[in-house]
Amino acid sequence: MIRGDTASIQIGKNTTVQDLTRIASNNSNAGDKVTIGDNVYIGANVSLDACTIEDNSFIGMGASVGRGAKVEAFGVLAAGSVLAEGQTVMSG
């Protein structure tokens, strides 16, 4: 499910989004944005709040990414992980 009514959403080329994934903002604050780069894999049953996922990143099944969080290029968020609000997964 991709909800563009609560946030601006940008998804890059060659990105895979699996089943039961939710991409949106849990709040409807002005300026909320979900940015997903190129060549990103997003596993099944993932929840993405207003966040940034940079190029060539991997988000495992059932993971949750909070508001303002960031996964840098080539970052990996393991299956079932929770990336809390404002946290960052470093590159590599």
Over the stretch 40-80, which tens digit does the pLDDT of each residue have? 999 999 999 999 999 999 999 999 999 999 999 999 999 99
Please give the helix or strand (H or E) that residue 31 lies within, else none: none
Q: What is the CATH number that goes with domain 8-83?
A: 2.160.10.10
Higher-confidence position of 8 and 62? 62
Residue 42: what residue type? I
Higher-confidence position of 27 and 11? 11
Per-domain residue ranges of the chain: 8-83
pTM for the predicted model, two decimal places: 0.93
What pLDDT score does 23 carry?
A: 94
Residue 56 to residue 26: CA distance in whole angstroms: 25
> CB under 8 Å to 78, separation ≥6 — which residues?
60, 63
Please give the helix or strand (H or E) that residue 51 lies within, else none: none
Q: What is the pLDDT of residues 40-51, one digit of tens each?
A: 999 999 999 999
